[in-house]
């Protein structure tokens, strides 16, 4: 089945048609920058424009950085606050004229990695983390998703962890990869003590630079970049829309 996967982030929305039987993109991904926090109405227009770019007529899956319950957004830490309490699946469906399924963006990336990527066929606990504008998390046990884990908002060094260890925090504080990785290592050590994962998978744009900072981590758990790198959210959003 072919489904349009859309990944909504803090700085852009990205999407592409996906073959959900293979996890392969069927066209080059299209990216629409969102340098400002778009209102729900503005975001709906961006989603409509992205679907129109592909002249899309089928179902759509969308990953959103927040807690999602049955298409309703309950948190919106890095996007417009008017999304909170909004039935965004209904909003985006009306904007595009297509059926829409919504999922937490990190959960979407994790679904892609567990189905087709670095976490495929693994037993036990697998943790995926995305480092971008914020820090997203997806937690799996024997391939089954625990949705909306939101581990990037745990208290770390007196504030929300993503304020310290996100990719945006590294850029904001002008940290070298080595100095930033030391903070990330301490954060991951906390998660190791709580979850005892078999594997940690890192997604988001910074996963493409893993060779620059993985070597500075001191972990008990094996850590690998997402097989889909920054496309994991697109693929997983499409997979979430399969009925």
Same fold, 2-107+232-240 and 121-227: yes
Sign of CA dihedral 196, 201, 205, 209: positive
Cα–Cα distance for residue pair 99/142, rounded to 1 Å:
30
Q: Mean pLDDT over residues 93-121, rounded?
A: 97
pLDDT in the model for residue 148: 97
Express each pLDDT in 164-186 by its tens digit: 999 999 999 999 999 999 999 99
Q: Mean pLDDT over residues 225-231, rounded?
A: 90
pLDDT in the model for residue 74: 98
pLDDT in the model for residue 35: 85
Express each pLDDT in 9-38 by its tens digit: 888 999 999 999 999 999 999 999 998 899
pLDDT in the model for residue 243: 77
Please state the domain extents for the chain: 2-107+232-240, 121-227
In CATH, the number for domain 121-227 is 3.30.420.40
Q: pTM higher than 0.75, yes or no?
A: yes
pLDDT in the model for residue 229: 84
- Kindly tell me if the per-residue pLDDT of 204 is higher than 90: no
How far apart are the two ends of the chain, measured CA to CA in Å? 10
- Kindly tell me if the per-residue pLDDT of 8 is higher than 90: yes
Express each pLDDT in 99-108 by its tens digit: 999 999 999 9
Express each pLDDT in 64-94 by its tens digit: 999 999 999 999 988 999 999 999 999 999 9
- Kindly tell me if the per-residue pLDDT of 206 is higher than 90: no
Q: Which CATH superfamily is domain 2-107+232-240 in?
A: ATPase, nucleotide binding domain (3.30.420.40)
- Kindly tell me if the per-residue pLDDT of 133 is higher than 90: no
**CA Rg, the chain, in Å?**
17
């Amino acid at each position: 089945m072919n489904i349009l996967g859309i990944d909504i982030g803090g700085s852009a929305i990205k999407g592409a048609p996906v073959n959900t039987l293979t996890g392969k993109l069927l066209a080059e991904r299209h990216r629409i920058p969102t340098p400002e926090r778009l209102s729900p109405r503005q975001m709906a227009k961006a989603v409509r424009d992205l679907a129109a770019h592909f002249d899309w007529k089928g179902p759509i899956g969308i990953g959103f950085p927040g807690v999602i319950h049955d298409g309703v957004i309950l948190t919106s830490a890095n996007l417009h606050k008017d999304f909170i309490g909004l039935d965004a699946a209904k909003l985006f469906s009306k904007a595009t004229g297509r059926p829409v399924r919504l999922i937490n963006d990190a959960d979407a990336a994790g679904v892609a990695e567990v189905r087709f990527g670095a976490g495929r066929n693994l037993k036990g606990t697998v943790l995926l983390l995305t480092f971008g504008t914020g820090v997203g998390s997806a937690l799996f046990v024997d391939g089954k998703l625990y949705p909306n884990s939101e581990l990037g908002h745990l208290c770390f060094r007196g504030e929300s962890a993503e304020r310290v260890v996100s990719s945006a925090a590294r850029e904001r504080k002008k940290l070298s990869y080595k100095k930033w990785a030391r903070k990330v290592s301490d954060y991951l050590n906390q998660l190791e003590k709580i979850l005892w994962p078999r594997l940690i998978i890192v997604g988001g744009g910074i996963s493409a630079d893993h060779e620059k900072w993985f070597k500075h981590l001191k972990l008990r758990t094996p850590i690998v970049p997402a097989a889909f790198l920054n496309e994991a959210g697109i693929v997983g959003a499409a997979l979430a829309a399969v009925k």
